[in-house]
Each structure stands twice: as structure tokens, then as C-alpha cells.
Structure 1
Amino acid sequence: MRDRLTTSSRIINYSSTIHKPHTVVHQGGGLINAWCAVMANTIIPNATLALSDSLSFKTDQQIKIVNSGNKPVRYRLQHLPAVSVKTFGANQKFNRPDVTPDTEGLVANAVMTPETFTLAPGSDQVVKIRFTAPKASSVDLTVYSGYIILDGDVECESHNVPYYGVIGSLKDQEIIDRGPVPGSSTVRFPYVAFKSDELTSEGFPIYTAQKTNFIWKLAEKQSLYLLFRTVFGSPTLRIDVIAGDANPTPSKSTKGSHFDKSFGNTKIIGMVPGTEFTSLARSG
């Protein structure tokens, strides 16, 4: 059903002045067409193409089209690029993604084989697609996307297959926000703090940031808080305790599954309870 909803949707333009489809990462397949999602006899399994980033770019893709109806359908394929958007633009600071990203005029190229064909009832066709990524600065981490359009000659048998890719390296992106705390010129993320009994005018707790070296008097403060933000998503994030005089040497390359024992050639004393997160999104 998800594939049906995706491929039968109506693609939405970026704006009333930019007559190109909005980026796939924002609209997905587009505006759902419930009628055609139910009535369509064209089936396209796994109807989203992920081209990955520049390091793992998957240039050769394919889609399978199945005619499950009782009449033949003639299809004509074409490529419809969407607006590309920059993760990091002119207004970006401290490695924080823009809330309203800048658009990028460069788009991918796609060559489909075959471009036209007719499917008899009960038959299927594999279409091979060769993508060429646009050339843009990897610093902006531009996300490009678009649609492979299947224009059928029968009502509700025209479909769209979305694709997307990234210019740059995802694994080289910083995860932890190390920029300044909003409203402060001296405190930067991440930081440890004690929570005050007072509240802000909006009802949020007030935290008092501590210096790198400080004395924690348990008789006065029973809880210590670590405040942090993420500027990028991560499959796993955890907070561990290491020796105070340790000097870890982190690496962005994968070291296997022993991150619960050591990190950056430094022995881990233990994990702070309740601080292991999976599929963590960036902070809003």
C-alpha cells in the first residue's frame, strides 16, 4: 500500500514562482491520490530509489513495473528533476543545518532503458536507469532528487518513482553541536550544569553551567545534567564515563562493535544509565 500511495500521488511544485517539483525529502511522492491508489493496476515494488552520498553513489538502478490488470497499458518514461536544496547554506553557523535551506539549480541526469513499452495483462518489465549526480560543492551537502515519470495511456496507470541523493560525505558530518548556547556568549554545547529551582518566564528550568574542572558536592546537588544538541542524525548515540586524565583519539572510521568497551583508544569505565539512543534525529 505504501508503494501504491507513493507512485500514484500528485507531485507538488516548490512554489508559485518556482515551477519545479519540491524536493523529495520534503514531499515524498507528493499529494496522495486516494482514488488512483485504490484503482491502479500498475504495481511498482520498492518504489523509492536511494542513490546515497558521493562516497557510496549508486549510479545504476532499476525498477520493476507489473501490470496486474486485464488490459494492456503503454508506458512512456521521462525524468523530472526536483529542486535541489543545500543542507548548509549562507545562513548556516556552527555546522547547524538551515531551517529554510537555499535552493540549488543543479540537478541529476537519468537515462532510462527502455523509455517506451507496452505491458500485456499479467506481464512485467524491468527498467534500467543510469544516474549521473550533479556537480556541486560538497561543503553545502546538497540534497538532489526528482522523479521517474511513467505516463500510462489508461486512467490511473500513470505513476511517479521518486529518487534522492546527497553531494558530499554523510559519515564526515559532525553529530554533536559545539556552537554557543542561545542567549549566551560564553557557554557552548555540550556542557554540564546544575539545575536551579527557578524557572524561566516560559516555564523552563534554569541551568547553571559548570567549568571544565569543578567540585560536585553531593550534599548540595544530587543531580548533574549534561546538556547537548545534535546537528546531524546518528544510528547510535551513548554517553560514557572515562578517566579524567584520559586523552581519547576519536576516529570517523568504523572500529567494529566494541564501542561499549573502548573509544578512541581509551577504556570506558561505564555508560551513564539511560543515555543510549538509537536512530537519533538532529535537534530541532
Structure 2
Amino acid sequence: MTIFYPGLESLSQPELPSPPSLVQRSVSLAPLTSFRVGGPAAWYAAPRTLEALRSCLQWAQDGGLPLTWLGAGSNLLISDAGLPGLVIHTRYLRGLHFDDETGQVRAAAGESIARLAWLAAARGWEGLEWAVGIPGTIGGAVVMNAGAHGAWTSQLLRQVELLSRFGGKPQLSEPEALAFSYRTSGLQTGEWVVTQAQIQLAPGGDPQRVRTITAEHLRARKSTQPYNLPSCGSVFKNPGPQTAGWLIEHTGLKGYQIGQAQVSQLHANFILNCGGATASDIWRLICHVQDQVEQHWSIRLRPEVQILGEFPAI
């Protein structure tokens, strides 16, 4: 999950201080996203500790730079022009601790939620079976309130550790204070970054049974969703009562293609990079799908994917 802050001063300021050693200039973001598209970050850092993260935040604040948070890159579309300011990749903030007495897991923001689902299943701990097919991090899952099969992240949260984009010390927040709702939360303003989450699971189950259920969830996802080509997962939020995929399919858009971006033949709420697609191809296809569905059903689909940077007017 990422948040982009427009309107701050650009990186070209002559007074920009010297960056910390881990900050790199002009790093391609396409390999770091599941769509495999997008231009470079003007500045990029992948801290592995909170101390390093705070150092990057202080430097960005001193230089008046906009910030973008990047996790697994699985739910975003980055402009071909790239992003100004500093992109902070939180994927390498790692750490897991299972508390056998309470059934709680303390998971750092960069941990894979799918990996955590498998590790919990191996212990016989129930509650995350649904998350096994979600290609994101714990931090991204919290910010987006990721979910599947009628379950979602906020149901399991006990506490969330947050760090202000201005640095300082991490603070603990209760889930009730974070305005969770369908595929969103109050954290999408980007004022705070998730550093870790306390997740409540149900220990004491039979590991073989929990692993079997987890594997069935993954099998079901792979049988109904395309995994063979780059995508961002579901592109649009479900408006109800019909799903976004149903509306797109019954508008006749399965297989529709702009450039090398295509509406999936398997699941219409997926847009695929068929090889060499640009972010602009995907953006134009998103806009086309929205327009066509609105014409047919008088429903304007809202993107679930986070769209960052500058895109051409359609």
C-alpha cells in the first residue's frame, strides 16, 4: 500500500541536505510492483530498522520532500513518469513473534500476510486461512483493510504500532481509532506508517486440519483468479449487490485490451499486463471499464488499486 503526498516542494531544491547512506537516487519502481510497470522514484530507501526509517523521514522532512510508502507493491499503479520525492520501501521491516499464552502474533509491517497465514496454520492457529492468497504485507493489509472470503484484517487486530511521517517515537493505536471500513482505513491519509501489528488468532487447533483449510482457500483463489500474468489483484471495489467482476463481465468487457493491458478472461475484475504494457495502457483501460459499466448499469466503479503519480487526461 502506498500514499502519495502532492503539493510539497520538489526534490530539485538547491538546499536539499545530503541523504542518508541508504537513500538511492532514480530507482526504477516497476520491478517492485506486481503490475511490473511504472517509472523511477526520484529518491528511494529500503530501511530495515526503525532507526533507519526515522533517519529517512527526518531527511525528507528537512528537504520538504513528498513521501510515498511502498510495501509489496501489489495494490498500486505507478505512473510511467515515476514519483517525485522519497519512496520508502517498508518490505524489509521484518519480524514475527507468536505468543502461545495469548494466541497473539506480533508482526512487523514488511512481513508477508500469506507467509504468516501458512506459519499460523502449521501451528494449528486459526483465523488467517483466508489470507493465504493475498500478495501483500502486514502493513499494507492493515492500511487497506485487506480481506477475502468474508473476512478482513481489522477483525483480527488488537493493536497497531504507528510512526508519524515526521518521525518521533512509535505510538500504539487501538483498531477502533483507525476508522476501518470496506477496503479502507483512516491510515490512507499517509500521516502515519504502520510499523507492526498485534493480531489475535485462535490457537489450539489441529495443524493438519488448519493447513488443509488454508490450502483449499489458496486452491479456490487460483482456480478463479489469474496468476499467470502480472496484475494488481482486484482493480475495483465491489459496489454491491453485484460484484465489480460480474458488472464488468456482463458489460461484455472480458478480454478487452488497450495496448498490452487486458481485462482478464478468467476474472473480469483483474487487469493483466500481457507483456510490455505501460502504466498509461492500464490507466486508459481502467477509465474505459468505468465508462462502459456506468453507461450500462449507471454505476461508477471505484478503484481499489491505489493510483500514484501523473496520468494523461482521458
TM-score, scaled to structure 2: 0.22
Normalized per residue, the structure richer in helix is 2
TM-score, scaled to structure 1: 0.24
Question: Which is higher, the Rg of structure 1 or of structure 2?
Answer: 1
Higher RCO, 1 or 2 (CA under 8 Å, sep at least 6)?
Answer: 2
